Amino acid sequence: MLQGKVALVTGGSRGIGLATAQALLAQGASVVTTGIDAARLAAVQQALGPKAVAVQADVRDFAALEGAVRTAVDRFGGLDILVNNAGIGIFAPVAEMSLEQWDDVIRTNVTGVFNGCRAALPFLKARGGGWIINISSLASANAFAGGAAYCASKAAVNAFSEALMQEVRHDGIRVAYVMPGSVRTEFNSHVPGPDDEWKLAPDDVARTVVDLVGHPNRSLPSRVELRPSRPPRKS
């Protein structure tokens, strides 16, 4: 389905991003993935094979994302799909959150998405169109105590995505955001175990991304809420 297409997936060295990179590769796309941890990136490069390039690029750094986009263009001839997936969660009451923690969440989850879009847009336009898919969270709509920074960052991603969608749709660039509920990953240093069986799998989010990019040109599902179908009952 995606033969000849080129994708960039930020935060593609584990979790949802890695599953998304694998799913796009399975559909025939070439993929550039990013992350920070060099050893993990080397292992991912080995696992994904020659139609993928794993590059060290911190989404907080615009120049690094320009470099990742340039890698996609130089190695595979262009860019068609950007998945802004890299994100972090730091959870603390506002009264106890340091300025550095706040800044880290906002720079990664919000500025990181801007950086990816800003770096990719000229090349998506040069291709005559493409996709930008931003990985948000249901936390953007369901705020909770201790989640002020994270929930605000993801709500910002939603608004950013909707504005950008209207700016670039006439260039053939479709912008969507996906709001997953709990996903079984190592997010926030979590160690997945038997208690996580009810959660979404990273593959479920990856499948949503693949489904989105398979939509006919005339249609744009611009916002997807993806929930675990049977979460624990609330008492």
Ligand X SMILES: NC(=O)c1ccc[n+]([C@@H]2O[C@H](COP(=O)([O-])OP(=O)(O)OC[C@H]3O[C@@H](n4cnc5c(N)ncnc54)[C@H](OP(=O)(O)O)[C@@H]3O)[C@@H](O)[C@H]2O)c1
150 is catalytic: yes
Q: Taking the complex as a whole, how short is the minimal distance between the CB of residue 218 and ligand X, in angstroms?
A: 29
Q: Do residues 4 and 77 lie in contact, with contact meaning Cβ atoms separated by under 8 Å?
A: no
- Residue 138 CA to residue 126 CA, distance in Å, equals 33
Helix axis angle, 148-168 to 112-126, nearest 10°: 20
- Residue 136 contacts residue 161 (beta carbons within 8 Å): yes
Within the chain, residue ranges assigned H as helices are: 15-26, 38-48, 62-76, 99-106, 112-126, 148-168, 202-213
> Site for ligand X (CB under 6 A): which residue of 106, 187, 196, 207?
187
Q: Which is nearer to ligand X, 35 or 130 (CB)?
A: 35
**Residue 85 CA: distances (Å) to CA of 34, 170, 180:** 10, 24, 12
Cβ at position 4, least distance to ligand X in Å? 26
By C-alpha distance, which of 150, 159, 207, 158 is closest to 179? 158
Which region among 35-43, 68-76, 124-132, 216-224 touches ligand X (by CB under 6 A)?
35-43
Q: Which of 22, 108, 161, 208 binds ligand X (CB under 6 A)?
A: 108
If binding is defined by CB under 6 A, does position 119 make contact with ligand X? no
Chain centre to alpha carbon of residue 130: 15
| Interface with ligand X (CB under 6 A), residue from 69, 83, 86, 119 | 86
Q: Does 60 engage in binding with ligand X (CB under 6 A)?
A: yes
| Residue 33 C-beta: closest distance to ligand X, Å | 8
Residues in contact with ligand X, shown as a per-residue x/- string from 87 to 106 under the rule CB under 6 A? xx------------------
3-state secondary structure of 55: strand
Residue among 7, 10, 82, 228 that touches ligand X (CB under 6 A): 10
Applying CB under 6 A, does 208 fall inside the site for ligand X?
no
- At closest approach, how far in Å is the CB of 45 from ligand X? 13
Closer of 127 and 160 to ligand X (Cβ): 160
DSSP 153-174: HHHHHHHHHHHHHHHHGGGTEE
Q: Does 36 bind ligand X (CB under 6 A)?
A: yes
